[in-house]
Amino acid sequence: KQVPIIGLVMNDRGFISRVLCPKFGGYLTFGSLEKGKESAPSQPTAADLINVYNIRQIGPDTKVFGIIGNPVGHSKSPILHNEAFRSVGLNAVYVPFLVDDLAKFLSTYSSPDFAGFSCTIPHKEAAVRCCDEVDPIARDIGAVNTIIRKPDGKLVGYNTDYVGAISAIEDGIRATQQTHSTVSPLAGRLFVVIGAGGAGKALAYGAKEKGARVVIANRTFARAQELGNLIGGPALTLTELENYHPEEGMILANTTAIGMHPNVNETPLSKQALKSYAVVFDAVYTPKETRLLREAAECGATVVSGLEMFIRQAMGQFEHFTGMPAAPDSLMRDIVLRKT
């Protein structure tokens, strides 16, 4: 450019241009004075540019991290990671990437400055194929939710979902039992996973590792059967799951997007069917209390919010992003609870 340029791209896919323009020499960017008063589609508020994205500190040397997904606008990850980066003095920014084709995105955004990504629906399984190296656990699961770009340009994939979700469920059960036994409370239990995508694979793998008897239920039976064969458990359709109650005290984990904002009145399982479950976990965290969790609680089940999985998997991602041995636990937890 020969003169100062304000370069902005419209709509959801262009949101990143409004945040990253200081890194690439943009003369200025701008935002609305308040939410709902935008002058163009997907325009951020000035307050978010300053307080969430720390835009005054973004420069040519700023590393870029972000969440890859579709949809992605609902994610709380930018709020969480940007404040965590700021707390440790890291010159980095974390933005939402609305992506249709993961392989094309990764080859396009190939600069070393794009240093790492969180990976969410529907790209977790494709990420395994797109990475140059995959952590053995992530490969066993068949899903990657964290991608790191090494200095040599190689992409390395990890999975922090399974530890985040399984530890949240275990702690939720232990809290009600008031026990600190080293034996997993999942051992020997019948553990039903709804969904056979990336998150479903992580939950199924984690539950099996803890000694649970895992059942897979999915809208598309072939997908459920494929995952069931991998983990050595039976497969069901969602219709069959409605009448599936071989024993009392089962554990249910929803890993689909059913019930996520804005479709907050949807639920993967009827309230009647929930009566057979002692513990119900929902990976959806927007809203914090989904219809599934609300009705499960009304049936007397112990409920575990997807927020716990979100916080814990994000801590694992932060450690991969920064190379630090421990994430700022209390800070990250406080951020999420304040913003939801």
- What is the Cα–Cα distance from 180 to 184, expressed in whole angstroms? 10
Check if the beta carbon of residue 201 is closer than 8 Å to that of residue 142: yes
Q: What tokens does 108 get?
A: 């396009």
Check: CB of residue 217 under 8 Å from CB of residue 258. no
Beta bridge partners of 253: 193, 281
CA distances (Å), 82 to each of 33, 50, 124, 128, in order? 21, 11, 22, 26
H helical segments located in the chain: 15-20, 46-51, 77-87, 102-108, 124-130, 136-141, 161-177, 198-209, 221-231, 238-241, 291-298, 306-322, 329-339
Is 124 catalytic? The answer is yes
* DSSP H helices in 109-152: 124-130, 136-141
> How far apart are the C-alpha atoms of 29 and 95, rounded to whole Å?
15
Contact between 42 and 12 under an 8 Å Cβ cutoff? The reply is yes
Residue in 1, 23, 35, 124 annotated catalytic: 124
Within 13 Å, how many C-alpha atoms sit on residue 326's CB side?
A: 4
Pick the closest to residue 283 from 207, 169, 185, 184 (CA basis): 169
Question: Coil, strand, or helix at residue 21?
Answer: coil
Positions marked catalytic? 124
